[in-house]
Amino acid sequence: MEKLIEGFPNQMKRAMEIGEGIQLKNSESPILNVLISGLGGSGIGGTIFSNIVKNELRIPLTINKTYQAPVFVNENTLVVVVSYSGDTEESISVLKQVHQKGARIVCICSGGEIESYAKNNQLDYVRIDGGMPPRAAFALSFTQLFYVFNTFKLISDAFRSDLIKATNLLLSLQNDIRSKAKELAHHIHDTIPIIYTTSDFEGVAIRFKQQINENAKMLSWYNVIPEMNHNELVGWTKTNKNLSVVFLRNQNDYERNQSRMDYVKSVIDNFPATIQEVYSEGNSIIEKTAFFIHLCDWTSYFLSIENNVDSMEINVITSLKNKLAEQPL
C-alpha cells in the first residue's frame, strides 16, 4: 500500500494519458441528464467529481450506488458505469438495466464482465490499467470522468491544466504531505475519527472515512457543514475521549461556513480526545481535492501502522462477495 499511495501523482499522469486517447461515439439523442453508477473505491470518484463540476455542469447529475437504475433513465441519459474490476455485481446489474432503457452508456473498467458486455453490445468503454486494489486505483477511474464529460461537451477544457497543476503540486509536496499525515495519524490513533468539512468537499470526507475503514481497519464517520449544524451539533454534550475530530478546511471556503466551523470548534472544544485542522494546498478545486486525497490516503496508511494491521487485507469484503457468488443474480 505504501508504494501505491506514493505513486498516486504518477498514476494521475498515467490517467491523463489514457484520457487523452479516449474515442467515444457521438450521442444520437441530446443528453439531458447524467447518471454515474459505481460503488466503493470505484464509485467514490463519481461523488468527488460531482462536487467539483457542480458549478459548471448545466444538466442534472445523479450518483448511483446500488443495484437499481433510477426510473428517469432513458435515451436522453448519459450513464457512466464505473467498476475498476469490471465485475462489481451491483454495477453489472445497473449496466444491463440502462442498456434496456436505451441510455447512452460509457463504461470505465480494467476488464471483467463489464468490458465483455460492452464489447458484445457495441457500447463505449474506457479500459484502465488493472492489477491494483480499487481504492488504490482512484486516480485512474476518477480522471476519466473529466474526459468523458468533456467529450460530450458537458464541461470545458479547463480541467486539463488543473490536473497537471495538481500532479505537480503533489510531487513538490510529497515529503511535507507524508509528514503531516504521519502527525495526524498519531493524533487520531486509538480514537473513532469524525471528519467535518463543507458540503463542497463531501466526497473527500467520504473517501477519507473509507480509507480509514479499509486501510486502518477502524470505524469512522463524517458530516458536512452547514447540514450538521442543524442536527449533529446538538449531540455534542459530553466528554468522549474515544472520539477525535478532523476538520478539512480551505482558505477560500464560503465565509459563512468558515464562521460555522469556528463556532463548531468552540462548542466541542473539550469533548473529543483531540481536534485537528487540515488546510488544503493549491488554487483550483481539483488541486485542493488532490491534496486532500493524497494526505488522507497517507494518514490511513500510517494509522494502519499504528494499529499493526495489514492495510491491503480486506478478507471480510472478499468473504461477502464469495457468499453472494453462491447465489448469483
Looking at the structure, tell me whether residues 82 and 141 fall in a common domain: yes
Q: Same domain for 152 and 13? A: yes
Close Cβ partners of 264 (under 8 Å, ≥ 6 residues apart): 196, 225, 228, 229, 233
The string of pLDDT tens digits covering residues 2-27 is 999 999 999 999 999 999 999 999 88
Spatial distance between the Cα atoms of 110 and 105, rounded to a whole number of angstroms:
16
Mark whether 58 and 89 lie in a shared domain: yes
325 within a domain of the structure (yes/no): no
SS3 110: coil
Q: Are residues 79 and 23 in the same domain?
A: yes
Residues 148 and 177 in one domain: no
Question: Where is the domain boundary, 129, 156, 183?
Answer: 156
Q: What region, left, alpha or beta, does residue 37 occupy, with left being phi > 0 and alpha being psi -120 to 50 degrees? A: beta
| Distant-in-sequence, close-in-space partners of 174: CB < 8 Å, separation ≥ 6 | 6, 9
Asked if residue 328 has pLDDT above 80, the reply is no
Judge whether 222 lies within some domain. yes
* CATH, residue 63: 3.40.50.10490
pLDDT value of residue 326 = 84
Mean pLDDT of 163-192: 98
Active site residue 99: no
Q: Do 149 and 271 belong together in one domain?
A: no
Tell me, yes or no, whether 323 lies in a domain: no
Mean pLDDT along residues 121-138: 96
pLDDT band at 319 (very low <50, low <70, confident <90, very high): confident
* Lowest mean pLDDT segment, chosen from 200-204, 278-282, 316-320: 316-320
Domain finish residue from 156, 180, 199: 156
Contacts of 247 (CB under 8 A, 6+ apart): 196, 197, 261, 265, 275, 276, 277, 278
Residue-wise DSSP of 251-301 = TTS-HHHHHHHHHHHHHHTTSSSEEEEEE--SSSHHHHHHHHHHHHHHHHH
pTM for this prediction: 0.96
Q: Are 58 and 142 contained in the same domain?
A: yes
In the block, which residue shows the cell 440502462? 98
What lies within 8 Å, CB to CB, of 17 at 6+ separation is none
One domain for residues 182 and 293: yes
Q: What percent of the chain has pLDDT over 70?
A: 100
Distance (Å, whole) CA 87 – CA 109: 9
* Residue 63 belongs to some domain of the structure: yes
Catalytic, 230? Answer: yes
d(CA 41, CA 72): 26
Shared domain check, 152 and 43: yes
For residue range 252-301, list pLDDT tens digits in order: 999 999 999 999 999 999 999 999 999 999 999 999 999 999 999 999 99
Q: How confident is the model at residue 249 (pLDDT cuts 50, 70, 90)?
A: very high
Tell me if 313 is assigned to some domain.
no
Q: Tell me the CA distances in angstroms from 273 to 13, 190, 241, 244, 265, one per residue in order.
A: 39, 10, 4, 5, 13
pLDDT at 161: 98
pLDDT at position 324 over 90: no
Catalytic residue among 90, 115, 202, 214: 214
Residue 80 lies in a domain: yes
Q: Which three cell numbers stand for residue 211?
A: 480509507
The count of domains in the chain is: 2
80 and 113 both lie in a single domain? yes
Do residues 121 and 207 both lie within one domain? no
Residue 320, classed as helix, strand or coil, is helix
Res. 325 pLDDT band, cuts 50 70 90: confident
CA angle, residues 111, 112, 115, in degrees to nearest 5: 60
Among 168, 123, 115, 114, smallest CA distance to 283 is for: 168
Q: Is 214 assigned a catalytic role?
A: yes
Q: Looking at residue 323, what is its pLDDT?
A: 82
Specify whether the CB–CB gap between 84 and 112 falls below 8 A: no
* Among 3, 230, 238, 323, the one annotated catalytic: 230
Classify 96 as helix, strand or coil.
helix
Ramachandran quadrant class, 111 (left: phi over 0; alpha: psi -120 to 50; beta: rest): left
Work out the pLDDT band at 77, boundaries 50, 70, 90: very high
Mean pLDDT across 189-213: 98
- Both 17 and 120 in one domain: the answer is yes
Closest CA to 118 of 127, 7, 168, 14: 127
pLDDT tens digit string along 29-41?
Answer: 999 999 999 999 9
Which of 127, 156, 185 lies at the terminal end of a domain, its last residue? 156
Residue 127 burial class via C-beta count within 10 angstroms: exposed 0-12, middle 13-18, buried 19 and up: middle
Q: Does some domain include residue 246?
A: yes
Identify whether 326 is part of a domain: no
Mean pLDDT of the chain: 96
Residue 329 has pLDDT above 80, yes or no: no
C-alpha cell, 118: 460492452
Range of the domain at 287: 172-307
102 confidence band (pLDDT: 50, 70, 90): very high
Higher pLDDT, 297 or 323: 297
